[in-house]
């Protein structure tokens, strides 16, 4: 009698390391998924998805990429927005994405003001480290997508690759980094839709 084929997971360990690349993508929120506002996004009525962002998450999900969101929300400790309002926005965000075939597995946010000098406010890597521990992620096989140098710095500090989108504050932030003589330690793309395409064009196996 012919021996049955071994289960699929026995093959994973034999996949060459160079194509077992991206395990998860961490997205900044404002300026990447939705429009920035100079007066902050204070509730769901002010939440506006950027063109192509929902589809980008759906494409990543269908390809097997785990998607997370990390966002600074100092409006909470400034007393401008209640934490319950932030959590309601994130519940609705995940529901809309799910309705379009995508999945945001988890969302972590920092409520602290800059002067509180916490370890979770980007550019500190605390949000990434917390999600990596919670979800058993290898950060060396993850990518951060953001529209600010703080996003890039948080990702690099955690050992992730980084992509800056030119939506949101991206153009201004990239110009600031260039003017300061910063090394280009991130990829530069127009928006999240392009970032998803760039990531999915590579040969990758997600485990």
Tabulate helix, strand, coil % of the chain (nearest 5). Answer: 40, 15, 45
Q: Given 28, 147, 151, 153, which residue is catalytic?
A: 28
DSSP annotation string for 34-74: B---TT---SGGG--BPTTHHHHHHHHHHTT-EEEEEEE-T
30 is catalytic: yes
28 is catalytic: yes
Beta-carbon contacts of 168 under 8 Å, excluding residues fewer than 6 positions away, are 28, 30, 31, 32, 35, 36, 50, 147, 148
| Residues identified as active-site | 28, 30
């Amino acid at each position: 009698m012919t021996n049955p084929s071994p289960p699929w997971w026995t093959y994973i360990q034999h996949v060459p390391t160079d194509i077992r690349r991206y395990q998860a993508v961490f997205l900044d929120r404002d300026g990447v998924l939705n429009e920035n506002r100079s007066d902050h996004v204070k509730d769901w009525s002010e939440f506006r998805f950027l063109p192509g962002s929902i589809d980008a998450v759906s494409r990543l999900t269908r390809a097997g990429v785990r998607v997370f969101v990390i966002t600074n929300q100092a409006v909470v400790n400034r007393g401008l927005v209640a934490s319950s309002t932030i959590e309601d926005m994130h519940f609705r965000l995940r529901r809309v994405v799910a309705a379009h075939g995508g999945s945001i597995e988890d969302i972590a946010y920092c409520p602290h003001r800059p002067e509180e000098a916490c370890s979770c406010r980007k550019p500190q890597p605390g949000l990434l480290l917390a999600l990596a521990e919670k979800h058993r992620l290898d950060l060396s096989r993850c990518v951060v997508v953001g529209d600010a140098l703080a996003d890039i710095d948080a990702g690099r500090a955690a050992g992730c690759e980084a992509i800056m989108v030119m939506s949101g504050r991206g153009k201004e932030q990239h110009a600031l980094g260039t003017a300061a003589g910063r090394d280009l330690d991130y990829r530069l793309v127009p928006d999240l839709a392009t970032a998803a395409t760039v990531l999915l064009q590579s040969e990758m196996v997600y485990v």
